[in-house]
Every structure is written in C-alpha cells, then in structure tokens.
Amino acid sequence: MPTHLFKHALLPDGWADSVRIVMSGGKIVSVEAGAVRRPDDCAGGYALSGMANVHSHAFQRGMAGLAERRRHGEDSFWSWREIMYWFLDRMTPEDVEAIAAQAFMEMLQGGFTRVGEFHYLHHAPDGTAYDDPAELSSRIASAADTVGIRLTLLPCFYAHGDFGPQPALGGQRRFLHGLDAYASLLDRCAGLVRGLDGAALGIAPHSLRAVTPSELDALVALADGRPIHIHVAEQTREVEGCLGWSGRRPVDWLLDHAPVDHRWCLIHATHMDASEVGRLAAAGATIGLCPVTEASLGDGIFPGTAWRDAGGRIAIGTDCNVAIGVAEELRQLEYAQRLATRRRNVMASGLGASTGETLFAAAAAGGASALDAPAPAIRVGSPADIVALDPDAACLAAGGPATILDGWLFGGDRSAVRDVWVGGRQVVAEGRHCQAAAIRAVYVRCARRLAAL
C-alpha cells in the first residue's frame, strides 16, 4: 500500500508538518503528523482536501475566447447569451462529451475534485428528444468517469423564455421539458449516478424566468431531500422582470413561495437588498458564487460584507468555464469585494485571520454540503480526495504553512497544483492529468470542427 509523506497538510485543527497519509479502498485510512521519513514513502507537497465546484455548464468551456469582441454598443450578459445559444446549436453528443472531459480535466488540475454539473442541454439541435432522452446526461456522466472527477449531476428543468410565462426562444429548444418528461429524465439520471463512485443527484429548476410557480412546487416535491440548485438574481434586468411580474424581488419571491433551507443552493444571488440577505442567510441556504463568470459577464458584485456579517454560507463555481481554477475563483471573489469597498482582506473571518484560509474553508464546507457530498477533511475515514500544492512553486516560497493558502490564492494559480487524488486514485501528477494528451487531442479535434461549421 503506497504511503505519502506530505511536507505539510491542512488537518481539521490546522496545518501540521511532515504528515504521512495512507489511502486505501477510496478512503484515508491513516494520518500521522510529525512522521519520520521511511524509504517507501512517496514525497508529497502541501496537502489540502479537494474543493467542490458547485456550478458548471461544462459545454461552455468550448466557447472560451469566442465572446470577447464587441458586437453591440453595450454588450452584456444578454448579448453573450446569444453567442452561447449559437455555439450550442451545433454540438453533437460526441462534442458534449469531449468538451466536458476537457473542462473536468482542467477542474482537477485547478484543485477541484467534485463538480456540480448544472446540465440543461438535453435534446437534439432541432429540439427533439434523442432516442435515449438522457443521451447528453449520460455523456456528462461518461466524461466524469473517464476523467475521474466526482460528479453531482443536476439535471435542469427549463420550460419558458421569461416571467409570465413567456414562450421559450428558438435558442432554448434543446433545453425544454414538461414535468412528466423531466421526472423520467431524473429517474434515468439516478441510474447514471448509481454507476459512478461517490456521485450524487440533485435537481435544478433553471431560474424563476424559466419555471412557473406551480412547476417549481412540483420540482421541489420531486427533489425528495436532494439538493436544489437555481440561478437567481444574476442580472438587474432579471430583478426588474421579477418586480414587474410579481411585485417582489427574485430572492424575496423565492423565500415567500418555496421552502428554502439548507438543501438549497442559490446560484449568483448577486442582486439582493439588505432584507433579502438577512432572510436568505437565516434560511440556511448556500450561495453558489461564480466570481470569474460574474466578472466575465458583467453581472455585478454580490453583497459580500453583508452576507459575511449575516453568517451566510458560500460555495464557488466555475459556471461558464472561461477560466478554471480554485485560486482564480477565490481571488476574484475577494478582489471584487475590495474594489467595491475600497478595503483589503474584506472576507477574512476576523482580526488576524487569513483571507485565503477563511475563503478556502468556507467554500469547501459550503460546496460539499450543496453537492450532497461528505464534509471535506483530511482525517481517517474521509474520502481520499486530496490536492497537493507544489512546494517549489514560487508563490509558496515566502513564509511558512500559515501563508500557504494566501500564497496560492493571491500569488499563484492552477500551475501550483502538483498532484491530485480522487478516491485514492492519482489523477493529476506533476501538474498534468494522467490522460491529458488523449483528452486534449479529442477536445482540440472537436473545437476545430465546431469552429469550421
């Protein structure tokens, strides 16, 4: 049984030196701090538990760089969405799997060991169901299996184009279901998840724009204790639309009409007033922040200090996957708050606290909870999902263990991730996924074919 001797490891009670970790049967079976090196130990770097990526649309990795040219007088989330609809219109099931494999591989290389795939691409380009209505969900499951990332599959229900409800747009025809067809899809997804080690299933009403109140009630009943993820209040236009439709802001409306509790993960929640912040935090819901995407799309800045003061739970997601990494997301989260408040170390938990450690711990705990996964920790009995940083990385050279997370998150990027294990199986070694060349070759062929269409 291989043993790994890490220079430092972040254990539940803090950093420890010279930590021997033994993994077996997918779990951590031994943790020994202050260990003396033995000849059969593999030398490890700085060990952390793996992070959950709570919100991804994997296929959007394939359009990175395709939406950065000004097309309108005022480009926005909505003009970006037109490009996204154009892009997804041509993808085959093989393309979906190839792009998802590339995105999931990059997630592992960036320090994530689980992904919550908010999957809304279900049908053929003309909107008809595939012979297997779960064809594209099974492609996502297959990509996760190939790459070795843990999956929480979040099949998305999408039925309408806007509040009212308005009819769905042409670009949305690959997303649409009635409730009965969605319930069948959910059953099929439960089977897919059963076939993957450590995988989980949740439900995902797309947004209040895409789901009517009665449909939301039916979906909550279908959840049966599973996580419920929903996009909410990402854009000011969505807030205005919700006010026009209901007289209530989106988060308020949701709290008034749905049993929001710790099972719920509200994606973005960028635009909340003080009352919504207090109510949502008290309900125990997690906010799935996607800081790089929110910056990329010009969404706005969520009320971080108010959410922090209310004791709200956070998780992080890579969402549009334009750039993928734990450090990239947590750094952007903090920097947006600094720009908004003209202060530093805004999200640190208190006087003397490390901003990096505060954010990492909060996002790890909130992310695992939102994805129905075990609490992440390097302790005996926990899943052996471990990320080891490179002790030779320049961003980690200054300081000791107390500054490792601040060095990585604020001074580094995913290149500081050296080794990753999921369920005790090493999937990233020396910064590269163990099947990197093959996965990338399939992806590049796919991306070039799509670009040529």
The residue ranges that bind Zn ion (CB under 5 A) are 319
Sign of the CA dihedral with 280 first, then 285, 291, and 297 last: negative
Pick the closer one to Zn ion by CB: 117 or 215: 117
Residue nearest Zn ion, CB atom distance: 319
For residue 64, report the phi and psi dihedrals to the nearest 5 degrees. Answer: -60, 130
Residue with tokens 């049908």: 123
Burial status of residue 383 (CB atoms within 10 A of its CB: 0-12, 13-18, 19 or more): buried
Smallest distance, Zn ion to C-beta of residue 57, A: 6
Smallest distance, Zn ion to C-beta of residue 117, A: 11
Pick the closer one to Zn ion by CB: 215 or 319: 319
Pick the closer one to Zn ion by CB: 234 or 385: 234
Q: How many C-beta atoms surround the C-beta of residue 39 within 10 A? A: 4
Pick the closer one to Zn ion by CB: 18 or 236: 236
Smallest distance, Zn ion to C-beta of residue 231, A: 5
Pick the closer one to Zn ion by CB: 317 or 407: 317
Smallest distance, Zn ion to C-beta of residue 232, A: 11
Smallest distance, Zn ion to C-beta of residue 319, A: 5
Smallest distance, Zn ion to C-beta of residue 91, A: 17
Pick the closer one to Zn ion by CB: 238 or 319: 319
Q: Show which residues are catalytic.
A: 268, 319
